[in-house]
Amino acid sequence: MLGSQSNLSAYESSIELAMVRKKRAEQDFERYKNLIASNSVTQQQFEQAEAELESATRQLEVAKKQKESVFRETASRQAQSNVSEKNISLAQTVVKAREADLEFANLQLSYAYVIAPTSGVISRKSVQPGQLVQAGQSLFALVSESKKWVVANFKETQLEKMKAGQSVEITVDAYQDDIFKGKVESISPATGAKFALLPADNASGNFVKVVQRIPVKIVLDNNENAAKLRAGMNVIVDVQVD
């Protein structure tokens, strides 16, 4: 568009020069017209003045037509530029729509995979190849192998001096010759009875005091023998309290 504007400026300058030339030719023609009447100039000089006027007039017309042509060309290019900008905007909108479709397709594809939250061993499998499963259906149990821990149910009267970070020695009934070491990681915020399917209601008139059990999570230290442990084993836990 910058080149078109330059062309318009050039043709406007040409029109101004043509107008000046035509004005001077008109003045010369009028002067020679008066002189030819009194035979002060020759017929040839008069005809030259007439031809100069006609040439200046034609040159002015040509300059104006050239300017109009450039103006139309500039308008045409501007229209094409506007159309191109609209096409670019439309193309960008289509690209964004296709990107959204791609993201949605990737999301749908991710639903085709069931990813385990951790590595481990599958047990109690209840699904077979070709079986149609429903959302929320239990397919198998996954026992984690990356990190093992013990949940010890201590009496509430044993928790007075117990806190996270204390060292623990664990004896497993299945391997009584081995001593496993670990640390207290956390103490449950409620008793095991509170998390039961039908928790006990002590406000029902039962005045027999029952000592409650509180789960304590103990994380095992890195030990080669820990690989022998299985979920659900009975253990004896000794916490080194301060």
pLDDT tens for 180-225 read 889 999 999 888 877 777 766 666 555 677 788 999 999 988 766 7
DSSP label of 231: T
Considering only CA atoms, which of 29, 64, 68 is closest in space to residue 48?
29
- Domain assignment present for residue 151? The answer is yes
How far is 186 from 201, CA to CA, in rounded Å?
Answer: 26
At 2, the pLDDT band (50, 70, 90 cuts) reads very low
pLDDT tens for 147-179 read 788 999 999 989 889 999 999 999 998 888 888
Residues 166 and 232 in one domain: yes
Judged against a pLDDT cut of 60, whether residue 1 lies above it is answered with no
Please tell me the predicted confidence (pLDDT) of residue 5: 58
Comparison of pLDDT for 2 and 68, the residue scoring more: 68
Angle at 183 between CA 179 and CA 189, to 5 degrees: 125
Judged against a pLDDT cut of 60, whether residue 3 lies above it is answered with no
- Domain assignment present for residue 113? The answer is no
Q: Which residues of 215-238 are buried (b: 16+ CB within 10 A; e: fewer)?
A: bbbbebeebeebeebeeeeebebe
User: What element of type H or E holds 236?
Assistant: strand 235-239
Residues 55 and 96 in one domain: yes
How far is 89 from 84, CA to CA, in rounded Å?
Answer: 9
Please provide the average confidence, as pLDDT, over all residues in the chain: 82
Residues 154 and 229 in one domain: yes
Please tell me the predicted confidence (pLDDT) of residue 77: 77
* Average pLDDT rounded to a whole number, residues 97-106: 92
Structure tokens at 185: 């990681």
Give the predicted TM-score (pTM) of the model.
0.48
Residues 52 and 73 in one domain: yes
Judged against a pLDDT cut of 60, whether residue 127 lies above it is answered with yes
Residues 103 and 127 in one domain: no
User: What element of type H or E holds 141?
Assistant: strand 141-144
Q: Which residues contact 240 (CB under 8 A, 6 or more apart)?
A: 166, 167, 168, 169
* Average pLDDT rounded to a whole number, residues 50-74: 80
Q: Is 205 left (phi over 0), alpha (psi -120 to 50) or beta?
A: left
For residue 25, the tally of other CB atoms under 10 A from its CB is: 21
Please tell me the predicted confidence (pLDDT) of residue 113: 81
How far is 144 from 16, CA to CA, in rounded Å?
Answer: 92
Comparison of pLDDT for 231 and 9, the residue scoring more: 231
Comparison of pLDDT for 129 and 228, the residue scoring more: 129
φ/ψ of 239, rounded to 5, equals: -95, 130
Judged against a pLDDT cut of 50, whether residue 27 lies above it is answered with yes
Comparison of pLDDT for 16 and 106, the residue scoring more: 106
Count: domains in the chain: 3
Judged against a pLDDT cut of 70, whether residue 61 lies above it is answered with yes
* Average pLDDT rounded to a whole number, residues 95-113: 90
pLDDT tens for 136-146 read 888 888 887 77
Residues 72 and 132 in one domain: no
* Average pLDDT rounded to a whole number, residues 74-83: 77
Residue 14's CATH number = 1.10.287.470
Please tell me the predicted confidence (pLDDT) of residue 204: 59
Q: Residue type at 85?
A: E
Q: Which domain holds residue 43?
A: 2-108
How far is 7 from 211, CA to CA, in rounded Å?
Answer: 101
Residues 141 and 152 in one domain: no
* Average pLDDT rounded to a whole number, residues 30-54: 79
